[in-house]
Structure 1
Amino acid sequence: MTPVGGDLQDRVLGGWYGRIAGNMLGKPVEQGEYWTRARIDAYLRRTAALPLTDYLPEPADEADARALRPEWQSCVRGRIHGSCRDDDVDYAVLGLHLLETHGFAFTTEEVGELWLLRLPYLQTFTAERAAYRNLANGLKPPLTATYDNPYQEWIGALIRADVFGWTCPGDPHRAAFLARRDAVLSHTGNGVYGAMWAAALVAAAFTAPGARAALDTALTVIPASSRLSRTVRRAVSLHEAGLSREEALATLDEETAGLGWIHTVPNAAVISAGLLYGDGDFTRTLALTVRGGLDTDSNGATAGSVAGVLCGAAAIPARWKDPLEDRVRSAVFGFDGVRISELAARTVELAEE
């Protein structure tokens, strides 16, 4: 399938803008153990920012400033001059470089080689850092994912998946196949399924009439018996039953208790709820997803990517795009300062193959 309306360039650019803006929105409160939904909303009330319609405001006092991540000074409204560096954007850049370098027939081993060549070790975290260490010690996939790696089902592979969706518009199964090949370098089980689901979700957004349809399609690429699939279906059913967002998230919290705030499954629930209750509105989707807590910058990035593809860059309000100044900070060697528009154009070239 090809995207309806011949607006591929605008939709891909929307995906890049959505990912970066969502990441920037969630970055200051990216600490799920502290920044619960209640604390995030209390912060927004103290700063007169509810309903949330823009980047986070500056903290109201020193206590809030200390609680935010140190990157807040380049991520809050009025202080943003281009995107700040973050792994949620680094992996999208690196994925683009992977496809440009090795094509769609890339191997998992080639993903690992590119990490060692282009990605600084100290800019990797959890499962990616474990896999990187294993690569440096001479291990090969799939051992890189399983040896001394307690993070195999965490969210890292999911955040790497968007580029496979952007380059496979309207073809969620192909996108999921590519994402799986990338994900098994560092993840297993629901960690791999999360990458496949996210890639398919982004790819489906090019042709789906809305977020619900994209979510339904994305579920077809992962095992129905997996905990990830069951949790996403549960989020959909709670929304369909008419529960409020708060009631739905409280229910999902109870049903995923104990997995931790960086695990793929509870974060996929927050992403799904953000997309469903965002109801097609870009700003509302970003705001509700980040206010959902857990891994806020990763969730905002994925939901923003899907929402951006659904609406296209031209429809994203200027308050999200203009502060980014068409510029990306990146730890990927050779890409720091690259223009967002250039990344999108290069992505379109691959998609048109």
Structure 2
Amino acid sequence: MAGWVGLQDLLKDEVRQRKYEACNVDGFLARIEATGENQIELMKIYEDLCSLIAHSPNEDEPNELEQIRMLRPIGPRKIEREMSSEQWLDKFNGAWLGRAIGCALGKPLEWSNFMGGSHGRAGWENVHLWFKGADAWPINGYTPGKSSAQEEYGIELAHYGKESTREHISYMQTDDDIRYTVLGLIMLERNGHNWDSWDIGKLWHELLSYNQVCTAETQSYLNFAQVTHHYGEVKRPVDWSQKKHWVRTYLNPYREFIGAQIRADGFAYGAAGQPELAADFAWRDASFSHVRNGIYGEMFVAAMIAAAFVESDPHKIVEIGLSEIPRNCRLAQDIHKAVEIAQGTNDQLTLVKRVWDAFSHYDPVHTNNNAALVAASLVFAQGDFTKAIATSVLGGWDTDCNGATVGSIMGASLGAKQIPEHWIKPLNDTLYSAVIGFHPIAISECARRSYEVFIKLKQ
């Protein structure tokens, strides 16, 4: 199981996922409740869930790269732009800084009050109340550690995000959104173009502990061990392409959650200006643990990041991201709707309310609603770094993930020199990733190494 919940709860999540996949799940929740904690009977129900056939199979949502590319819109694939080494390096510094800034802003808010809402209020309403209660509205700095909203409205911050609050922040504290960026850099440094999803599993088992992964990543981490570990030695199965699907789906109802989407950045930096290559790298990574829209989320974000290094128009960046995923998939449909919402208002609170109302039927950590918020924030902000990251965090759901993704895109587009100093200075150019060799490390050193990978891959 995924390590965070028992089998009964896992099956309830599987029912929801199968419903997303257009299966008829009538009666399954009642069966699960009636079974209680009987593991044998629960596994029989799981087998029945796995055997369900979608009533309206979506042929526009394949898992394999060649099929995905057959269904994507026309796109630039590669964008040439001449820049000096200094200009490129500023872009890479901006991307790493932007990711750290957005992640740190959202990390204290990655808590149920703000992700799913509470006391009859939407998550974005609680974010608004927190900053307002701290006399820090509108958002123009890191999350205050104290707010009158705590006592007045019964909301509180994530206990593990204290080091990222306004009163305490002095570096980028460890976070999965940062660890995966580091792992992407490591993979490209070691292997260049020559790696696939099996190498992702091997790298995770080498550098990540079990408690550093969650949801889809936890289950694929466990499943990978079962098919590759033999008496302490990791061996690639000759039939890995077949076993991979079991690794990413078995007891994994989170296979379309946001986990893959937050892993795009390290790969996309190495493919700066090449959205097709960035999406290729993202597909290899995401297909280890996710399917369909879970894969498309990482491909969409990777293509946007790669484009942002050479493109300044946020709407064009989003369109380039969409050009690397199936044009009619659920994610693409949701992104188009989010962009339409963003173009229809000039008010930040109205925007996040409309996005929340449109996509809150998804789990707070599903790919689609969070990607929609990311796209809406970029289009709404029109190139304003603070407005972009603030909107993405204000919207609730997976606050640190969305802040990090939007910050990464905006940083790559603007460059470090155009990011307001009051966001940069508190980090003291320091990152703690809880990955050997990157704990601590200068953020500027990570940027330099990503730039060197980019140069190597272009040759």
TM class by shorter-chain length?
over 0.9
Q: Which residue of 1 aligns with 2:172?
A: 83
C-alpha distance in 1 between matches for 2:356 and 2:124: 11
CA deviation string 1:33-74 (max 9, x = no partner):
247100110111110111111111221356489721112321
Deviation string for 1:92-129 (max 9, x for gaps)? Answer: 00110011112122111111100000011101011000
Distance 1:66 1:37, change over 3 A: closer
Aligned to 2:190: 101
1:26 to 93, 106, 124: 106
Q: CA deviation at 1:273?
A: 1.5
Give the 3-state SS of the residue equivalent to 1:221 in structure 2.
coil
Give the match for residue 306 of structure 1.
409
Q: How does 1:52-131 map to 2 (within 5 A)?
A: 52-60=139-147, 63=151, 67-131=156-220
> Are the counterparts in 1 of residues 109 and 157 from structure 2 also a CA contact under 8 Å?
yes
RMSD over equivalenced CA pairs, Å: 1.8
- 2:96 is matched with 16
| Structural mapping, 1:176-195, within 5 Å | 176-195=279-298
For residue 330 of structure 1, report the CA deviation from its aligned partner.
1.2
Q: For the residues of structure 2 that align with 1:307 and 1:259, how far apart are their CA atoms?
A: 26
**Residue in structure 1 matching 2:397, options 291, 294, 315:** 294
Q: Which has the larger radius of gyration?
A: 2
Question: 2:210 is matched by which residue type in structure 1?
Answer: Y
The whole-number CA distance in structure 2 between the counterparts of 1:51 and 1:252 is 19
Structure 1 length normalisation: TM-score?
A: 0.95
Asked if 1:326 is matched to 2:406, the reply is no
* Alpha-carbon distance, 1:288 to partner: 1.1
**Distance in 1, Cα, partners of 2:352 & 2:139:** 18
Determine helix, strand or coil for the equivalent of 1:314.
helix
2:280 partner amino acid: F
Q: Which residue pairs with 1:202 in the alignment?
A: 305
Identity of aligned residues (%): 36
Letter in 2 for 1:145: R
Are 1:232 and 2:232 an aligned pair?
Answer: no
Letter in 1 for 2:170: H
Displacement of 1:332: 1.8
Deviations 1:268-287 (A, max 9, x none): 11111111111111111111
Contact 1:211 1:276 in 2 (8 A): yes
- Secondary structure of 1:142's counterpart equals helix
Aligned pair 1:259/2:350, yes or no?
no
Counterpart of 1:5 in structure 2 is: 83
Q: Tell me the amino acid that sits aligned with residue 262 of structure 2.
A: I
For 2:303, the aligned partner's letter is A
TM-superposed deviation, 1:348: 0.3
Contact 1:4 1:206 survives alignment (8 Å): no
Which region of structure 1 is more displaced relative to structure 2, 54-63 or 13-22?
A: 54-63
Of 381, 393, 412 in structure 2, the residue corresponding to residue 278 of structure 1 is: 381
Change (3 A) 1:65 1:342: farther
Which deviations, in whole Å up to 9, do the C-alpha atoms of 1:189-216 show, x marking residues without a partner? 1000000000000011112232111001
Hey, what does 1:37 align to over in structure 2?
A: 124
Structure of greater relative contact order (alpha carbons < 8 Å, 6+ residues apart): 1
Contact 2:312 2:383 (C-alpha < 8 Å) held by counterparts? no
Give yes or no for contact 2:124–2:353 (8 Å, CA) kept in 1. Answer: no
Q: Indicate which of 246, 259, 283 corresponds to 1:156.
A: 259
Superposed displacement of residue 227, structure 1: 0.9
Per-residue deviation, 1:303 = 0.2
Q: Distance in 2 between matches of 1:241 and 1:46?
A: 29
Cα distance in 1 for residues equivalent to 2:160 and 2:423: 18
Aligned counterpart in structure 2 of residue 144 of structure 1, from 247, 264, 269: 247
**Per the alignment, do residues 4 and 54 of structure 1 end up closer, same or farther by CA in structure 2, a change over 3 Å counting?**
farther
Contact 1:119/1:333 (CA < 8 Å) preserved in 2? no
Q: Name the TM-score, length of structure 2 as normaliser.
A: 0.74
The separation in 2 between residues aligned to 1:65 and 1:323, in whole angstroms, is: 29
Check 1:305–1:65 CA distance in 2 against 1; reply closer, same or farther (3 A cut): farther
Q: Is the 8 A contact 2:117 2:124 kept in 1?
A: no
Runs of 4+ in structure 1 deviating by more than 6 angstroms, as ranges, are: none
Q: Which one is further off, 291-300 or 244-253?
A: 244-253
